[in-house]
Amino acid sequence: EDQVTQSPEALRLQEGESSSLNCSYTVSGLRGLFWYRQDPGKGPEFLFTLYSAGEEKEKERLKATLTKKESFLHITAPKPEDSATYLCAVQAVWGGSQGNLIFGKGTKLSVKP
């Protein structure tokens, strides 16, 4: 069964304290792995798509990496405005584009000044 597990469920950091969020997955053929940011009461905001093991993408203080079994979202020197829930999702090859995007439950990040 295709599955996505994110850890930890919640993470509290001090401003400037770097850390990583984990997304482990099992899927019968990975087409893509997606990272989103979601603020309370809002829709998910697209961050990255990763397609193959070894791929890395960066955006400001965020860096996403991908292996054959998991993805990491590294947050370097976070600021309070990085506080949000971060969602990971995988897309199976057989599902086709847009089809069967499987989401994890998310990691709620709080960054204290």
Q: Which is nearer to another protein, 16 or 96 (CB)?
A: 96
The answer to whether the beta carbons of residues 35 and 90 sit under 8 Å apart is no
Contacts to another protein by CB under 8 A: 4, 32, 34, 36, 41-46, 49, 51, 87, 89, 91, 96-101, 103-106
Q: CB–CB of 66/48 below 8 Å?
A: no
The β-bridge relationship of strands 3-7 and 10-14 is: unpaired
Q: Using CA atoms of 87, 107, 8, 24 in order, give the dihedral in degrees to the nearest 10.
A: 0
Q: Output the smallest distance, CB 7 to another protein, in A.
A: 14
Peptide bond into 80 cis (omega under 30): no
Nearer to another protein, 14 or 98 (CB): 98
Residue 14 vs 97, nearer CB to another protein? 97
CB closer to another protein out of 20 and 51: 51
Report the nearest approach of another protein to the CB of residue 48 (Å): 10
Minimum Å distance from CB 74 to another protein? 21
